[in-house]
C-alpha cells in the first residue's frame, strides 16, 4: 500500500513530497507483521513540468541513520536535481520509517524478540524495500541509486540480488569488504585509526599532555555528562570516530579545539567544564541511533557471528591499551561496555548480546552475480579512508564487472558533504564517458 502527503513542501529552487509504503517486516513471511517505509521525493522547480524525469534513489550511510532533510539547493543534491528526480529513502528503522529507538523497542517484550525483530534491518531487506517501492512508483522501470558509505554496501547487495532494478549505480566511499565476519575488517581499520592518531599528534603535539590529563582525570574521578550519564575515559576516546572526516565541526581539528576549554579556569582543583562535557555529549550520537550500535558488526556477517569483533581484535593492538602513551583514540568500533554506559543502550544490552552471538546471518553479496554485472557502475575509493579499508574496496571493485573507479587522496570519507556537487558531477561524467 502506498500513500503520499497531499501538500507539497516548497523550498527555494525545489519541492518535496513525502511517500509512505507498507512493506513486510520479513519478506519470507509477507503476511506477517508490516512496517512503514518513508521516502521523500525531491524535484527542482526548474524541472517541475518535465515528464519521465529519471529517478535517483539516495541511500544514506550508517547503518541506522535517516536520509538527509534538504534545506537548500546545494551540494550533491543541486547536481543530482539537474537531471533527476531524487528519492531520499529513510531506510527501515530510521527517520519516519517505523523507527527503531530505545522507546519503540521497549514495546517488544523480551530481548530475544527484540533481537529477532532487529535481524530484519540489514542491507538485504533495505534492497527489498527499494524494489517494493520501485514497482509502485516507476511502473517497473529500473532506477539509479547513489549510496554514501553504508549506502554503497546496500548498493552492492542490490547488484547481487536485484540488479534488474537498476539503471546505474554510484557508490561514494562504500565498496564493502566481501568477507564473512568483521575480524579481518577490524584488523585493517585499527591500523588506519593508528595512522590517524599519529597524524593528530603530529599536527597538535601539545595535545599529548592535554589528552593524558583528561583521561587521567576521568579514570580517577566520577564525572557526569549533562545527561547525568558517566563520562568514562573510553567513552571520551570514542571521539576519534571523527578523525577520518574533514568537514567543519566533525574532524580532528574540532577535537583539538574542544580540548582548549576542557577544564574550568581559573579553578583551584581540576574540574571539567560544562561546555566541554556538553560538546562531548553532542558529538557522540549512539543514544539516538541504536541500530548503529546493535547492527554495526552484523553488516559484515554472512553465516558467521561477530562475537564482539572490535573488542576482541583491539587486544591485538597495544596502541589501544590503557598504558600506551600517547593515549590513542578509537574509531568506528562498537564495544559491549557501551551497553552499560549509554543510557538509551542499557535496556538493549541483552538483545545486543544475542545479536553478537547469532551465526545465521544470510549472505549479502553474490560474487558470481557481481562478476557478470551489466549495470553501469562508478565508485570512489578514498585512499586514506579510515572507515572503509582501501584494500578491501579495491578487491571488491575487481569483482564487479565493468565498474569504473576513481581512487583519490584529494578527499576523505565525507567528500559528499565537503564538495558534493563537484564529486557527483565528476562521477556522472566518468560513468557516461564511453572512453573510460
DSSP 108: S
Residue linked to cell 573507479:
405
**Active-site entry in 234, 413, 414, 419:** 413
User: Which is nearest to 166 in space by CA: 181, 192, 144, 197?
Assistant: 144
Q: What is the DSSP string of 207-239?
A: HHHHHHHHHHHHHHS--B-TTS-B--HHHHGGG
Distance CA 418, CA 421 (A): 9
The alpha carbon torsion through 41, 47, 50, 51 (nearest 10 deg) reads -20
Please choose, from the candidates 64, 150, 95, 57, the residue with its C-alpha nearest in 3D space to the C-alpha of residue 364: 150
Question: Of residues 90, 124, 385, 414, which has the active-site annotation?
Answer: 385
Residue tagged active-site, from 44, 149, 160, 293: 149
Burial 325-342 (b: 16+ CB within 10 A, else e): ebbbbbbbbbbeebbebb
Establish whether 413 is a catalytic residue: yes
Cis omega (within 30 of 0) on the bond before 3?
A: no
Backbone φ and ψ for 178, nearest 5 degrees, come out as -90, 65
The full DSSP string for 242-280 is GGG--STTSSHHHHHHHHHTSB-SS-SS--B-HHHHHHH
Cell (9 digits) for 127: 534492497
3 catalytically annotated:
no
Q: Which residues are catalytic?
A: 149, 385, 413
Amino acid at each position: 500500500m502506498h500513500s503520499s502527503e497531499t501538500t507539497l513542501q516548497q523550498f527555494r529552487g525545489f519541492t518535496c513530497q513525502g511517500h509512505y509504503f507498507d512493506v513486510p517486516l520479513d519478506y519470507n513471511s509477507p503476511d506477517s507483521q508490516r512496517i512503514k517505509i518513508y521516502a521523500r521525493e525531491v524535484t527542482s522547480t526548474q524541472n517541475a513540468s518535465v515528464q519521465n524525469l529519471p529517478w535517483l534513489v539516495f541511500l544514506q550511510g550508517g547503518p541506522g541513520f535517516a536520509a538527509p532533510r534538504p534545506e537548500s539547493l546545494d551540494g550533491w543534491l543541486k547536481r543530482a536535481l539537474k537531471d533527476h528526480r531524487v528519492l531520499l529513502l529513510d531506510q527501515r528503522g530510521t527517520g519516519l520509517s517505523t523507527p527503531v529507538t530505545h522507546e519503540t523497542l521497549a514495546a517488544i517484550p523480551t530481548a530475544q524478540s527484540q533481537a529477532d525483530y532487529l535481524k530484519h534491518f540489514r542491507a538485504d531487506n533495505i534492497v527489498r524495500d527499494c524494489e517494493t517501492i520501485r514497482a509502485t512508483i516507476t511502473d517497473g522501470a529500473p532506477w539509479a541509486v547513489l549510496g554514501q558509505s553504508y549506502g554503497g554496501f546496500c548498493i552492492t547487495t542490490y547488484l547481487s540480488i536485484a540488479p534488474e532494478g537498476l539503471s546505474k549505480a554510484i557508490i561514494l566511499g562504500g565498496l564493502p569488504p566481501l568477507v564473512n565476519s568483521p575480524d579481518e575488517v577490524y584488523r585493517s581499520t585499527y591500523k588506519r585509526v593508528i595512522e590517524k592518531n599519529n597524524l593528530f599528534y603530529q599536527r597538535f603535539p601539545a595535545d599529548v599532555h592535554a589528552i593524558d590529563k583528561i583521561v587521567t582525570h576521568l579514570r580517577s574521578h566520577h564525572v557526569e555528562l549533562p545527561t547525568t550519564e558517566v563520562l568514562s575515559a573510553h567513552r571520551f576516546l570514542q571521539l576519534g570516530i571523527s578523525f577520518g572526516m574533514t568537514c567543519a565541526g566533525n574532524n580532528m581539528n574540532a577535537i583539538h579545539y574542544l580540548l582548549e576549554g576542557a577544564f574550568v579556569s581559573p579553578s583551584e582543583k581540576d574540574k571539567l567544564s560544562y561546555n566541554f562535557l556538553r560538546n562531548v555529549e553532542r558529538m557522540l550520537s549512539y543514544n539516538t541511533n541504536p541500530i548503529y550500535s546493535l547492527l554495526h558488526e552484523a553488516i559484515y556477517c554472512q553465516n558467521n557471528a561477530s562475537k564482539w569483533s572490535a573488542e576482541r581484535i583491539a587486544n591485538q593492538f597495544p596502541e589501544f591499551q590503557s598504558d600506551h602513551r600517547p593515549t590513542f583514540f578509537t574509531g568506528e568500533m562498537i564495544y559491549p561496555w557501551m551497553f552499560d554506559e549509554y543510557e538509551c543502550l542499557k535496556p538493549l544490552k541483552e538483545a545486543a548480546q544475542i545479536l553478537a552471538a547469532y551465526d545465521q546471518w544470510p549472505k549479502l553479496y553474490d560474487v558470481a552475480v557481481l562478476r557478470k554485472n551489466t549495470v553501469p557502475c562508478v565508485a570512489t575509493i578514498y585512499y586514506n579512508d579510515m572507515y572503509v579499508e582501501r584494500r578491501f574496496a579495491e578487491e571488491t571493485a575487481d569483482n564487479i564487472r565493468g565498474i569504473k573507479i576513481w581512487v583519490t587522496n584529494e578527499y576523505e570519507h565525507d567528500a559528499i558533504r565537503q564538495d558534493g556537487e563537484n564529486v557527483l558531477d565528476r562521477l556522472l561524467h566518468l560513468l557516461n564517458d564511453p572512453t573510460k
